[in-house]
Amino acid sequence: MAGFGWAYINCEDSGSGGGGGHSGPLKSVQFLTSSTGTSGSESFTYDNAVLQLTGTLIVSGTISASHYHIEDVAIIDASGSTYFGNTDDDEHVRTGSFYVGAAGSAASVFDVSIATQQVSVRGFRGGYTAITSSGMTSSAGSFIYGVSVAGNVDIRLHSAIGVNLSGAVYVVKDELTTTRTGVILIHASGSDTIDGGATYQLSGSYPAISLYSNGADWFVF
């Protein structure tokens, strides 16, 4: 077996970074300045797992991070689609007004104004549910209920109670093309009421009803 002794390495700086050796402020990331020298800048430092850059970063590939925080963004200019979130419990919060429109068009399709506290849409399509049998219970995910089954039909409204239901609006419409020989009887759930009563009846040709919740009961309007 070969024997090994001590080796002496001279670590003293032999240059100013441009001609050889290394230079730059403490904790600066080093880069080659010549074939034998490195240097660094206080604008690009690494300290205790924190990489800090002051200036412009140009990336031609992909940036991947578990957390991505941007301050003072005025314009995001990118081609293609953008996706937010990856699970159903994600929540995306935006502060300020919001505008959705076609490229190059001043007319908005969807506009949320903080100044006026109003939402403006050019067209609206609510969730539609066809009622094809008696005994159905409504849900918060639909807006219009079209009744196409003949005879007597019972419909139960879901509970009106809850702060998230205050202001909720629903429409029930008889879609039979002939005069109904029975009635559409709408039931409130639990202790809820519909204009003070436990039920509300629709009869005749093409009757309809619009309802809203105040967070406790249902009201016809």
Contact 211, 194 (CB under 8 A): yes
Give the chain's domains with CATH numbers: 21-53 (no CATH), 94-124 (no CATH), 128-220 (2.60.120)
Q: Which one has a higher pLDDT value, 124 or 199? A: 199
**190: CB partners within 8 A, 6+ apart:** 159, 161
Q: Is the pLDDT of residue 149 over 80?
A: yes
Mean pLDDT of 85-110: 90
Q: Against a cut of 0.75, is the pTM above it?
A: no
Beta bridge partners of 197: 194
Q: Which residue has the tokens 């919740």?
A: 213
pLDDT above 60 for 8: no
What is the per-residue pLDDT across 182-204, written as a single tens digit (0 to 9) for each? Answer: 999 999 999 999 999 999 999 99
| Residue 134 pLDDT greater than 90, yes or no | yes
State pLDDT tens for residues 38-68: 899 999 999 988 999 999 989 888 888 888 7
How far, in Å, CA of 168 to CA of 28, rounded? 58
Instruction: Report pLDDT for 163.
Output: 79
As a whole-number percent, the residues of the chain with pLDDT over 90 amount to 59
How buried is residue 184: exposed, middle or buried, by Cβ count under 10 Å (0-12/13-18/19+)? buried
Q: How far from the centroid of its chain's Cα atoms is residue 159's Cα? A: 26
Average pLDDT, the chain: 88
Cα–Cα distance, 55 to 154 (Å, whole number): 68
Task: Return the pLDDT at 125.
Answer: 92
Would you say 120 and 114 are in contact if contact means Cβ atoms under 8 Å apart?
Answer: no
Strands 153-156, 136-137: pairing kind: parallel
Mean pLDDT across the stretch 150-176? 94
